[in-house]
């Protein structure tokens, strides 16, 4: 019985973009309180476009596969475009997930939104500093 699609198995067995980005533009940390799985997503943004994405996931196979897929989906997208990526889109890109594992894909969406929020905070902190310097 094949419960998972070939794509899910491929991304689980050969996850893309595993690791950290030391000088990340934004980092998203999320966890599922029920199962205890954790996902940390790193984004590098250049001129409003996501040039690099990496992840570290302590979790189930579906969480690893969806983490891997979301890093592939966001590359080359603007930050605004990336915000539109839903957990359903990630699951669809993997050829679907069993219903009972759909919640696992939520980690990918939440981590992406958290990383973009972190990026926005860093950008606005940087802008504030530049303003202060220019007004000094
Ligand atoms: Fe926890 Fe899949 S069982 S994310």
Atom 4 of ligand 1, residue of closest alpha carbon: 104
The pLDDT tens digits for 44-90 are: 999 999 999 999 999 999 999 999 999 999 999 999 999 999 999 99
The pLDDT tens digits for 81-109 are: 999 999 999 999 999 999 999 999 999 99
User: Which is catalytic among the residues 53, 91, 104, 116?
Assistant: 104
Per-residue pLDDT for 34 more than 70? yes
Instruction: Verify whether residue 104 is a known catalytic residue.
Output: yes
Separation CA 74–CA 81 (nearest Å): 8
Contact 27, 120 (CB under 8 A): no
Q: Please state which CATH class domain 6-130 belongs to.
A: alpha beta
The rounded Å distance from CA 52 to ligand 1 centre is: 25
Q: What 3-state class would DSSP assign to 129?
A: helix
Tokens of 53: 């994405």
Ligand 1: atom nearest CA of 101 is 2
Residue 120 to residues 17, 25, 55, 60, 125: CA-CA distances in angstroms? Answer: 23, 9, 19, 30, 9
Contact residues of ligand 1, CB 6 A cut-off:
32, 35, 37, 59-60, 62-63, 104, 107
Instruction: Verify whether residue 60 is a known catalytic residue.
Output: no
Residue 1's pLDDT is what?
59
Q: Ligand 1, from 12, 37, 70: best to mutate by most atoms within 8 Å of Cβ? A: 37
Q: Look at the pTM and tell me if it is higher than 0.95.
A: no
Ligand 1: atom nearest CA of 106 is 4
The residue extents of the domains of the chain are 6-130
Contact 91, 66 (CB under 8 A): yes
62 contact partners, CB below 8 Å, separation of at least 6: 4, 8, 12, 97, 101, 104, 105
């Amino acid at each position: 019985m094949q419960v998972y699609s070939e794509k899910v198995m491929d991304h689980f067995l050969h996850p893309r973009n595993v690791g950290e980005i030391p000088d990340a533009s934004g980092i998203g940390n999320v966890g599922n309180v029920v199962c205890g799985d954790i996902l940390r997503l790193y984004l590098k943004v250049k001129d409003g476009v996501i040039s690099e994405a990496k992840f570290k996931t302590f979790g189930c196979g579906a969480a690893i596969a969806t983490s891997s897929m979301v890093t592939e989906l966001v590359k080359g997208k603007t930050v605004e475009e990336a915000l539109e990526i839903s957990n359903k889109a990630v699951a669809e890109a993997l050829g679907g997930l069993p219903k009972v594992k759909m919640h696992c894909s939520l980690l990918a969406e939440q981590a992406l939104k958290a990383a973009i929020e972190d990026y926005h905070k860093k950008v606005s902190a940087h802008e504030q500093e530049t303003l202060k310097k220019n007004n000094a």
